[in-house]
């Protein structure tokens, strides 16, 4: 608990400082960049991005802290997309893990790699209908930059999953059955 509070305090300061030096040092954001690149075909209108709380939209910089937490929780982070058939097939297993292992400090986060222009019509309706776990959307075009940071061995194919806690971290570039996923989660607890 005290660790968490300390971190919270530190992050607050960090954000303050980053914001305070924004004039000198532009904080990169693919969301803004995308709008600069193409005025006619906006990825996400700020309206859609702001007026929904189903999905947290981040660039890699925003995602990175999720993959580097050092607390008592075990994180199961799955990379998926609505158009990815094997991903959609295994999502119920992740949902079940999130539900069944809640009491054992396991948290599932589903990171969508859908194109941001599909957010309103495709991703949000799917999430509303099917998912209870926390859903993020990674809106960052520089895949060659962030894929190796997530895992050196990741070719970029999805589904892909990271299961980690403060003691161990494993990256998987393949689909799971429920039994396989359960076994991996059990092995790290």
Partner 1 sequence: MKTSFKLIAVAAVMALSFISCNDKTTAKDIATAAVVVSDKISEAKPINTKGYGIGDAATDFKLKDVDGSMVSMTDYKDAKGFIVIFTCNTCPFAVASEERIVALDAKYKDLGYPVIAVNPNDPNVQPDDTYELMQAKAESAGFTFPYLYDADDKVYATYGATKTPHVYLLKNEKGKHIVKYIGAIDDNVRKANAVKDTFLANAIDELLAGKVVSLKETKAIGCSIKV
What are the residues binding partner 1 (CB under 8 A)?
2, 6-7, 9-11, 13-14, 17-18, 21, 24-25, 27-28, 33-34, 37-38, 41, 60-62, 64-65, 67-68, 70, 81, 83-86, 113, 115, 141-144, 147-149, 151-159, 164, 166-175
Q: How many CA atoms, within 13 angstroms, populate the side-chain half-sphere of residue 185?
A: 28
Q: CA dihedral in degrees (157, 177, 93, 86; nearest 10)?
A: 30
Yes or no: say if 69 and 162 are a contact pair by the CB < 8 Å rule. no
Tell which phi-psi region holds residue 156, choosing left (phi > 0), alpha (psi between -120 and 50) or beta: left
- Kindly state the smallest distance separating residue 84's Cβ from partner 1, in Å: 6
- Kindly state the smallest distance separating residue 147's Cβ from partner 1, in Å: 4
Residue 36 or 103: the one with the smaller Cβ distance to partner 1 is: 36
- Kindly state the smallest distance separating residue 6's Cβ from partner 1, in Å: 5
Yes or no: say if 118 and 43 are a contact pair by the CB < 8 Å rule. no
Residue 51 or 144: the one with the smaller Cβ distance to partner 1 is: 144
**Which of these, 25, 46, 53, lies nearest to 128 by C-alpha position?**
53
Question: Angle, to 10 degrees, between the axis of helix 178-188 and the axis of helix 85-100?
Answer: 50
Residue 60 or 136: the one with the smaller Cβ distance to partner 1 is: 60
Residue 20 or 51: the one with the smaller Cβ distance to partner 1 is: 20
Straight-line distance from the first to the last Cα atom of the chain, in angstroms, rounded to the nearest whole number: 20
- Kindly state the smallest distance separating residue 2's Cβ from partner 1, in Å: 6
Residue 125 or 148: the one with the smaller Cβ distance to partner 1 is: 148
């Amino acid at each position: 608990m005290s660790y968490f509070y300390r971190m919270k305090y530190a992050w607050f300061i960090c954000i303050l400082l980053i914001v305070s030096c924004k004039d000198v040092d532009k904080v990169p954001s693919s969301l803004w960049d995308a709008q600069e690149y193409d005025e006619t075909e906006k990825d996400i209108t700020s309206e859609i991005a702001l007026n929904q709380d189903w999905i947290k939209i981040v660039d890699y910089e925003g995602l990175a802290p999720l993959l580097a937490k050092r607390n008592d929780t075990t994180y199961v982070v799955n990379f998926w997309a609505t158009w990815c058939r094997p991903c959609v097939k295994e999502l119920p297993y992740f949902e079940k893990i999130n539900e069944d292992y809640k009491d054992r400090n396991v948290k599932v986060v589903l990171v969508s790699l859908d194109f941001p222009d599909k957010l309103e019509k495709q991703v949000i309706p799917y999430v509303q209908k099917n998912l209870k776990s926390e859903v993020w959307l990674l809106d960052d075009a520089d895949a060659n930059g962030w894929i190796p940071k997530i895992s050196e061995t990741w070719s970029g194919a999805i589904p892909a999953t990271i299961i980690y806690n403060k003691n161990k971290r494993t990256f998987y570039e393949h689909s799971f059955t429920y039994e396989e996923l359960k076994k991996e989660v059990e092995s790290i607890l």
